[in-house]
Amino acid sequence: MKIYTKTGDEGMTSLFGGKRVSKSDLRIESYGTVDELNSWIGLVRDNLQDTHTREILKYVQDRLFTVGATLAADPKKTKLKKPDLHESDAEMLEQEMDKMNEALQPLQAFILPGGHPVASYCHITRCVCRRAERLVVALNKKEKLEPLLIIYLNRLSDYLFVLSRWAGKQFRAEEIKWEPRANK
């Protein structure tokens, strides 16, 4: 099987179900950003030693394929068999955040991204997740989506923030507090 089809050479692509849309369509931008997010999560996972967290991130990547497949499906083809997302997927992220937070000092101030490359990767990944969430919210205003897609992306961005702090602690990195300059 060849990877190139040449069917997108004029700026169009197909949704699952066959409908052709512009590659600049909000739906394509949404699932393309979810794909980018998934790649960043792979980079974070590859740079962590903790087996449990690596498994959680692998599970998250699987869930993001589900989110992408849902977004890539023609909404008018209601009989398409797609993988599903469950409330328990978002709840699992909440439970993981609670576990990581037990090992962290309470957050007393805004922190700047950085301190260690893995913490920085987590922050970049969180930002991509927020962008994916914003695009899915915009798509949802245009055509109703399953609410759990937005909930999951929102929870995932929170998880990635906590993961950045947790990873920084694992690598003994100092959290850099934001110190706003006072008006003079």
Task: State pLDDT tens for residues 12-42.
Answer: 677 676 777 767 789 989 999 999 999 999 9
Longest dimension (CA), the chain: 66
Q: 22-74+111-175 adopts what CATH topology?
A: Hypothetical Protein Ta1238; Chain: A; (1.20.1200)
pLDDT exceeds cutoff 80 at 2: no
Q: pLDDT digits over 128-164, tens only?
A: 999 999 999 999 999 999 999 999 999 999 999 999 9
Residue whose structure tokens are 């394929």: 65
Q: CA gyration radius for the chain?
A: 18
The reported pLDDT for the residue numbered 9 is: 67
The reported pLDDT for the residue numbered 22 is: 67
Q: Which helix (H) or strand (E) holds 21?
A: strand 20-22
Q: What distances in angstroms separate CA 173 from CA 117, 126, 165, 181, one per listed residue?
A: 10, 19, 9, 24
Nearest to 154 by CA among 141, 135, 171: 135
